[in-house]
């Protein structure tokens, strides 16, 4: 068992009482089965000697009790073990989900979306087998096997020794061999399952692009290849399990044969009766029922180890932002944000996305952030919204370190629209109301009017109740952008961060929307990230970024007079 599995087992600590009970019930079930066969052997052999019926009464009652008890114990074991496993599973799923929530959006770059889905769903599901098939059967087998060997030792010690060796081979050596054979296949199958889900999700979400470029056949072929890969690894895993099952049968046959040879010799010596011999032989045969599930358990352990590794991979991904243990009280309006020498990047050893940035967002001040693609503009927005922590320098909100506030409290006062806004598969109204669930229809109309979305909404036959389709498929790019802007205006944060609000618009609409935007935000604190330089004479300061550094800043008039980067952007 590898460390990730042990870690997942540690999460089950609160359930240890139930798990111990399940192991005891499992051992009881197996012991009842073994005793049933042993007693039956005794009963048959004794009956052949034609004793009086009273001599058989105890054995007859025992057979009945064991037969019924076995079923009851099995039911109890299933009930308790599944209950415990599902409780652990639920807890684990919540842990993974919470982690994903903390990682999103800046920390998820290393995962593929379909693969994440596989980790959250199938890998977490697979860990139930860690308990149900990986941990409980060996514990139950050890208890039941030990008790059986001890009982046999009363009848014939050497035979008990042979049985002990046989059980160890079938319970330890065979499962270990199976695990070695299965480990690589299991690890690869788990990875292949992730790849298959990632490719499937990719094909579905990218179907328009794939069809447009005539690439759908290639994409489907890649999907087939991923599927074949998964099937091959699964088959190899099944082969390992089949080998394990065969070896287990071989071992049990050889052991029973050894017990019989010793038993028959003992009967000839007169040290063992013929009736106990029958009980002994059948008990030895039945004892292998205890270890029968172990090769499969070992293979499942190998598989769940792979799943556990992928789960701990998510749990161990460093958080892009650290939540304070004791957050400051939620900030009050008005809000002032100050950045001094701020540097940030997406990976600890990666290139800087933004370096040494100074920025002041005092109440009512509007700042424009401009620069070429990749200059670091959206990264600044991510830092202000606490999706990403600054690594150097300081970022303060009302004089206190931004990192000392709970990130949700920060996002309650700093908000806006992201560069790639998401439109939900719902109506126009619901998509807007998302930003402000208690907004009145008048509020919605005002925000839509400010974002120049109202004429479009009113032109629709279903108006505000028009469904927009998945990802806003029934809207144009510009309409989606304006919807996101209306959402930001409706939320009315103290500091409005707008990342490229006029993207996807034609030049005339862009100029018009920028003018409206600047009018609608006259008294607000705004960070306007834009490629569009018209109307920037109305903002208080323009910051020009180039490859993560500030290369020029000041009001439009000052920048416009010097031959510098700003003028070259304009040209
Ligand atoms: N999630 C991420 N993980 C790793 N690197 C990223 C991530 N997002 C952005 N980067 C990198 O950080 C740098 C700055 O990106 P950023 O998105 O801030 O640029 P931008 O100025 O907003 O560009 P654009 O005008 O194209 O939107 C780029 O080099 C980019 O490759
Ligand atoms: Mg950007």
Q: How many CA atoms lie within 13 A of 361 on its CB side?
A: 31
Measure 126 CA to ligand 1 centroid, in angstroms.
36
Q: pLDDT tens digits for the chain (571 residues)?
A: 458 888 888 888 888 999 999 999 999 999 999 999 999 999 999 999 888 888 889 999 999 999 999 999 999 999 999 999 999 989 988 988 888 877 777 677 667 766 777 777 888 888 888 888 888 999 999 999 999 999 999 999 999 999 999 999 999 999 888 888 877 887 888 888 888 988 898 888 888 888 888 888 888 999 999 999 999 999 988 888 888 889 989 999 999 999 999 999 999 999 988 899 999 999 999 999 899 888 888 878 877 888 888 888 888 888 777 888 888 999 998 999 999 999 999 888 889 999 999 999 999 999 999 998 899 999 999 999 988 889 999 999 999 999 999 888 998 899 888 888 888 888 999 899 888 888 899 999 999 998 889 999 999 999 999 998 877 788 888 888 889 889 988 988 999 999 988 877 788 878 888 888 888 888 889 999 988 788 888 899 999 999 999 999 999 888 888 888 888 876 5
Q: Are 474 and 432 in contact (CB under 8 A)?
A: no
Q: Strand 495-499 vs strand 525-529: parallel, antiparallel, or unpaired?
A: parallel
Ligand 1 pocket, mutate which of 109, 317, 379 (most atoms under 8 A from CB): 379
Ligand 1 touching residue 373 (CB < 6 A)? yes
Ligand 1 touching residue 419 (CB < 6 A)? yes
Ligand 1 pocket, mutate which of 318, 348, 353, 385 (most atoms under 8 A from CB): 353
Provide the angle, in degrees to the nearest 10, between the axes of the packed helices 216-269 and 294-316.
Answer: 140
Q: At residue 499, what are phi and psi to the nearest 5 degrees?
A: -100, 105
Tell the burial category of 350 from Cβ atoms under 10 Å away from its Cβ (0-12, 13-18, 19+). Answer: exposed
Q: Are 283 and 152 in contact (CB under 8 A)?
A: yes
Take atom 28 of ligand 1 and give the residue whose Cα is closest. Answer: 374
Measure 107 CA to ligand 1 centroid, in angstroms.
13
Alpha carbon 569 to chain centroid, angstroms: 44
Take atom 7 of ligand 1 and give the residue whose Cα is closest. Answer: 346
Measure 419 CA to ligand 2 centroid, in angstroms.
6
Ligand 1 touching residue 377 (CB < 6 A)? yes
Take atom 17 of ligand 1 and give the residue whose Cα is closest. Answer: 378
Give the number of other CB atoms < 10 A from CB of residue 317: 17
Ligand 1 touching residue 530 (CB < 6 A)? no
Helices (H) and strands (E) in the chain, counts: 22, 10
Alpha carbon 97 to chain centroid, angstroms: 6
DSSP code per residue over 180-235? HHHHHHHHHHHHHHHHHHHHHHHHHHTHHHHHHTT-HHHHHHHHHHHHHHHHHHHH
Say which DSSP state 162 is in: H
Measure 73 CA to ligand 1 centroid, in angstroms.
60
Say which DSSP state 435 is in: T
Ligand 1 touching residue 379 (CB < 6 A)? yes
Take atom 27 of ligand 1 and give the residue whose Cα is closest. Answer: 373
Ligand 1 touching residue 348 (CB < 6 A)? no
**176-201: per-residue pLDDT in tens?**
888 888 778 878 888 888 889 888 98
**pTM confidence score:** 0.68
Ligand 1 pocket, mutate which of 108, 109, 346 (most atoms under 8 A from CB): 346
Q: Which atom of ligand 1 is nearest to the CA of 372?
A: 25
Query: Rounded to an integer, what distance in angstroms lies between the CA atom of residue 324 and that of residue 275?
Result: 74
Q: How many CA atoms lie within 13 A of 306 on its CB side?
A: 22
- How far, in Å, are 17, 143, 287, 308, 347 from residue 101 at the CA level? 31, 43, 49, 19, 18
Take atom 13 of ligand 1 and give the residue whose Cα is closest. Answer: 353
Measure 200 CA to ligand 1 centroid, in angstroms.
27
Tell the burial category of 408 from Cβ atoms under 10 Å away from its Cβ (0-12, 13-18, 19+). Answer: exposed
Of 339, 325, 248, the C-alpha closest to 290 is: 248
Take atom 30 of ligand 1 and give the residue whose Cα is closest. Answer: 374
Measure 544 CA to ligand 1 centroid, in angstroms.
16
Of all ligands present, the nearest one to the C-alpha of 370 is 1
- How far, in Å, are 88, 235, 315 from residue 310 at the CA level? 17, 21, 9
Ligand 1 touching residue 510 (CB < 6 A)? no
**152-170: per-residue pLDDT in tens?**
999 999 999 999 999 999 9
Of all ligands present, the nearest one to the C-alpha of 417 is 2
């Amino acid at each position: 068992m590898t460390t990730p599995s042990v870690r997942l087992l540690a999460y089950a600590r609160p359930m240890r009482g139930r798990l111990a009970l399940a192991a005891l019930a499992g051992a009881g079930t197996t012991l009842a089965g073994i005793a049933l066969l042993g007693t039956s052997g005794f009963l048959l052999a004794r009956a052949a000697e034609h004793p009086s019926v009273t001599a058989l009464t105890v054995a007859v009652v025992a057979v009945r009790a064991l037969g019924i008890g076995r079923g009851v114990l099995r039911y109890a074991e299933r009930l308790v073990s599944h209950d415990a496993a599902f409780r652990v599973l639920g807890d684990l799923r919540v842990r993974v989900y919470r982690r994903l929530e903390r990682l999103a959006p800046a920390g998820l770059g290393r995962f593929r979306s379909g693969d994440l889905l596989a980790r959250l769903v199938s890998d977490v599901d697979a860990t139930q087998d860690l308990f149900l098939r990986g941990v409980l059967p060996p514990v139950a087998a050890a208890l039941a096997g030990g008790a059986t060997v001890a009982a046999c030792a009363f009848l014939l010690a050497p035979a008990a020794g042979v049985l002990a060796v046989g059980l160890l081979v079938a319970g330890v050596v065979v499962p270990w061999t199976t695990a070695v054979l299965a480990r690589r296949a299991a690890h690869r199958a788990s990875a292949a399952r992730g790849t298959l889900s990632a490719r499937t999700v990719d094909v579905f979400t990218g179907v328009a692009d794939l069809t447009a470029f005539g690439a759908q056949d290639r994409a489907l072929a890649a999907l087939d290849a991923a599927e074949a890969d998964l099937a091959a690894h699964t088959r190899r895993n099944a082969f390992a399990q089949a080998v394990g099952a065969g070896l287990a049968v071989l071992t049990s046959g050889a052991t029973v044969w050894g017990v019989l040879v010793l038993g028959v010799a003992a009967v000839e010596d007169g040290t063992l009766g013929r009736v106990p011999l029958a009980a002994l032989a059948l008990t030895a045969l039945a004892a292998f029922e205890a270890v029968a599930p172990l090769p499969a358990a070992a293979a499942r352990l190998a598989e769940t180890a792979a799943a556990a590794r992928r789960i701990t991979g998510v749990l161990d991904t460093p958080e892009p932002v650290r939540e304070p243990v004791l957050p400051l009280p939620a900030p009050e309006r008005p809000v002032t944000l100050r950045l001094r020498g701020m540097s940030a990047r997406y990976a600890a050893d990666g290139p800087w996305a933004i370096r040494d940035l100074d920025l002041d967002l005092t109440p009512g001040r509007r700042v424009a952030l401009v620069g070429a693609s990749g200059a670091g503009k959206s990264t600044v927005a991510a830092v202000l919204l606490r999706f990403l922590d600054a690594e150097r320098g300081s970022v303060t909100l009302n004089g206190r370190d931004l990192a000392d506030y709970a990130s949700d409290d920060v996002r309650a006062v700093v908000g806006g629209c992201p560069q790639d806004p998401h439109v939900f598969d719902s109506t126009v109204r619901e998509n807007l109301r998302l930003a402000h669930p208690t907004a009145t229809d008048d509020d919605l109309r005002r925000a839509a009017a400010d974002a120049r979305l109202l004429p479009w909404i009113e032109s629709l036959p279903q108006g505000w109740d028009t469904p927009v389709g998945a990802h806003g498929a029934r809207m144009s790019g510009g309409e989606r952008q304006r919807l996101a802007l209306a959402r930001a205006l409706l939320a009315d944060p103290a500091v409005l961060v707008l990342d490229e609000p006029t993207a996807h618009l034609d030049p005339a609409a862009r100029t018009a929307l920028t003018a409206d935007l600047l009018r609608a935000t006259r008294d607000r604190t705004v960070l306007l990230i834009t490629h569009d330089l018209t109307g920037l004479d109305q903002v208080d300061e323009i910051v020009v970024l180039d490859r993560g550094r500030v290369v020029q800043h000041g009001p439009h008039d000052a920048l416009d007079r010097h031959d510098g980067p700003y003028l070259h952007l304009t040209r």
